[in-house]
Amino acid sequence: MHQAVFYQVYPQSFADSNGDGIGDLPGLISKLPYLKSLGVTALWLNPIFESPFGDAGYDISDFRKVAARYGTNEDAIRLFQEAHKLGLKVVLDLVAGHTSDEHPWFQSAASDPKSPYREHYIFTGDEPQQSMFGDSIPRTAQGEHFVANFLPFQPALRYGYKHPDPSKPWQLPPEHPACLAVRVELRDIMKFWLDLGCDGFRVDMAASLIRGPGDNTILARLWQGFRSWFDRDYPEAVLVAEWGNPIEAINAGFHIDFLLHFGEPAYTHLVGSPNEIIGNRRVPHVFFERSGEGDIRLFLDNYLKHYSATVGRGYISLPTGNHDFQRPRRGRDLADLRVLYAMLFTMPGTPFLYYGDEIGMRNIDGLPEKEGSMWRTGNRTPMQWEHGAPNLGFSTAPKKRLYLPVDPAKDAPTVSKQLADKASLLHLTRSLIALRRKHPGLGNDAEFRPVFAQSGRYPFVYERGTAATGRFLIAINPAAAPCVVDLPALGQARVLLAEGTKRAGTKLTLAGVSFAIFSLPEPARGRAVSRAS
Ligand code: BGC
């Protein structure tokens, strides 16, 4: 965990080994050496399980079976084994809060009042329910309403309500045996995959399990229970939350939580497209924007709140992107990404690199919806492996059979082109990860201290590490305008990696869109005393 750097694989878009137009596990296995060469230590795979794919696999119909389009359970086991040989961990997606309405549990529960799975779900009789986006949820064939967790075809699993309303008999308390039975199911699913060799889970919508308004104490207790079980039976395994509130998630026992486009506002003020509505808020300017009108404090004050409350107990992740929001390349070019990554890979916590962000894949706008993707189609397009190859090396299938179209641009970035170019974003990403892994003072656990972080001003400068781990100074200027900063520590600093910066004494001049990473000398110990004597 101390050195973990994750790579997120969107399986259907990563590598297609059998030419059916959809990525698969054998394809992913063939790319493990490439992933190893990036310097990452772990992979997170979006759901690979059997599903009608109404929400791209987040609607599971068999938690214990790999979907045929990705391969077989044997392929998954081989993936774990081959990854482990290379020192890579593999983390699966655990969709804990809901199933597909095609899951046999729901099929049985909805059609038979005596079904053993009846109590796994929340049927509300005549009381209509809405999905997360306000769509009304159709009744079952038996004429009943039920609670869905996300989209109408994702019936919520029953973990209970924080404050059950006595007039709504379906709102059971979390300690009710029916709710505890669902927890047992969830534990058994985790055990199934851990015993086959996976290394943990990213938990989808981790905060959604216990329902209703009110604080999350009972929800935290539920996850703490799973964490104690992990610590006892699978002490090496990792629990990563999709919660968007590291204070809550880490208190609940997760090892890692993300700052994201929803939940706490930090990430949305750092990366994103200006004026975009992210989650439910419009963000007029973000810090990583050439206009220079972003405000680092809007990110940093929230970040520090979570950092100081969790440091030493868990990790915050600032991902480059993910399958639910725009790629960082949207509204930015490759030069901007270099500066963004210089920051993301030198911050504390656990970096997550979304597939294709290492080469700066574009967000492909204007594509039709695919498998419930809604606004998320353009950030899920196929990985761009090889310049000049059919479908840029993703698949040998005819274009019309591809899961999604590949980037049609002539200058679409590819792994092959960037491998051949020492100045590419791919090489920079590798260098940043290598630097982080080489120097404990730049690592996941090392201290973090803002040095220059003023509202409405650029650059952002911070220090990492201590005398024991080595100390580092990082300066980041995403704005187009140059800026100058006086840094007393700069005097004897040694440049490790810099683009577009100049120093004179304690003054650092940063050109537009530039960064620098310095190592700082150890404070001279005892010299003052010997001089005085
Ligand atoms: C996942 C989404 C998914 C949703 C429902 C999430 O937050 O990341 O991709 O659609 O949960 O499972």
DSSP 284: S
Give distance in angstroms: CA of 517 to centre of ligand 1: 36
Sign of the alpha-carbon torsion through 242, 245, 251, 252: negative
CA-to-CA separations, 350 to 2, 42, 437, 439, in angstroms, rounded: 8, 11, 12, 15
Q: Which residues line ligand 1 (CB under 6 A)?
A: 55, 58, 95, 150, 204-205, 242, 323-324
For the chain, the average pLDDT equals 95
Strands 145-146 and 123-125 turn out to be antiparallel
pLDDT(59) > 90:
yes
Give distance in angstroms: CA of 323 to centre of ligand 1: 9
Give distance in angstroms: CA of 432 to centre of ligand 1: 30
**For position 522, what pLDDT does the model report?**
76
Q: What is the domain class of 6-99+180-438 according to CATH?
A: alpha beta
Q: Give the residue whose CA is nearest to atom 9 of ligand 1.
A: 324
Q: 73-119, pLDDT tens digit by residue?
A: 999 999 999 999 999 999 999 999 999 999 999 999 999 999 999 99
Query: Which residue ranges make up each domain of the chain?
Result: 6-99+180-438, 100-156, 448-532
Give distance in angstroms: CA of 56 to centre of ligand 1: 9
Residue 368 preceded by cis peptide, ω within 30: no
Domain 448-532 has CATH 3.30.2310.20: no
Index of the ligand 1 atom closest to the CA of residue 58: 12
- Out of 59, 205, 260, 377, give the residue to mutate to test ligand 1, the one with the largest number of ligand atoms within 8 Å of its CB: 205
Q: 112-155, pLDDT tens digit by residue?
A: 999 999 999 999 999 999 999 899 999 999 999 999 999 999 99
- Out of 8, 46, 55, 325, give the residue to mutate to test ligand 1, the one with the largest number of ligand atoms within 8 Å of its CB: 55
Sign of the alpha-carbon torsion through 197, 202, 207, 211: negative
What number does CATH give the domain 100-156? 3.90.400.10
- Rounded CA-CA distance 88/93 in Å is 16
CB 425 within 8 A of CB 417: no
Q: Please, how many CA atoms are within 13 Å of residue 488, restricted to the half-sphere of its CB?
A: 2
User: The tokens of 162 are what?
Assistant: 């924080």
- Rounded CA-CA distance 486/511 in Å is 15
What are the DSSP calls for 30-76, one per residue? Answer: HTHHHHHHHT--EEEEPP-EE---TTTTSS-SEEEEE-TTT--HHHH
